[in-house]
Amino acid sequence: MFKRFAMMLCVVGMVIPVRAQQGEIGVGLMVGAPTGLTGKYLLSNSENAIQGFLGGGFGGISVGGDYLYYTDAFDHPDFPFYVGPGAFIGPSAVGGPSFDRTGTLGLGVRGIFGVSYFFPRHPFEISFEIGPVLYVSPAVDMGLGGGLAFRFYPGRLPRK
């Protein structure tokens, strides 16, 4: 069942970006919890984004996403602060050694607090985020997640 669900998420993840206009999608790598691939879709109102990840940790691979709200906390358009809720799914081992139940599916929710820097003359973003994680299946537990991400926006034009 997990393989089918993961396959479905991958297919949906490949189809959704095709509908977006150039400059709204960033793809890259994230180091932390999880470590792996990351993508961000900047919504047209520039105050929100949808972020997704496919990464691993503690011997398992998880897939998840977040809905982000941007604010002008630092009063600089290239350096926004963001916060948002998210969810993830993966093998139960993703929750850490105490979750090692072979063949079971792990589910969780998370809250993200982060800051991004969009390079004004280049189509790149670097971001740092951290936040609480609540594992809800196969057992209830809490943790801390987050990391450092680097994304490339292929259609974004540099500002002068």
Contact at 8 Å (CB) between 114 and 146? yes
Assess if residue 76 is contained within a domain.
yes
**Closest by CA position to 35, among listed 74, 62, 15, 68:** 62
Q: What does the pLDDT read at residue 19?
A: 38
For residue 145, give its domain range. Answer: 26-152
Summarize the chain as % helix, strand, coil (round to 5): 15, 55, 30
Q: Which tens digit of pLDDT belongs to each residue from 18-72? A: 333 445 899 999 999 889 999 999 998 778 999 999 998 656 788 999 999 999 8
DSSP string, 50-82: EEEEEEEETTEEEEEEEEEEEE-TTS-TTS-EE
Condensed to tens digits (0 to 9), the pLDDT of residues 133-157 reads 998 988 888 989 999 999 999 987 6
Q: Is the pTM here over 0.85, yes or no? A: no
Query: Does the residue 78 lie in any domain?
Result: yes
pLDDT above 70 coverage of the chain, percent = 74
Does residue 144 fall inside a structural domain?
Answer: yes
pLDDT of residue 112: 96
Tens-place pLDDT, residues 37-52: 999 999 987 789 999 9
Q: What is the pLDDT at residue 56?
A: 84
Query: Is residue 127 one of the residues assigned to a domain?
Result: yes
CATH code for the domain of 44:
2.40.160
Q: Is residue 70 part of a domain?
A: yes
Q: What is the pLDDT of residues 99-136, one digit of tens each?
A: 555 667 789 999 999 999 989 889 999 999 999 999 89
Give a yes or no: residue 114 inside a domain.
yes
Q: For residue 72, tell me if it sits in a domain.
A: yes
Structural domains in the chain (count):
1
Residue 17 in domain: no
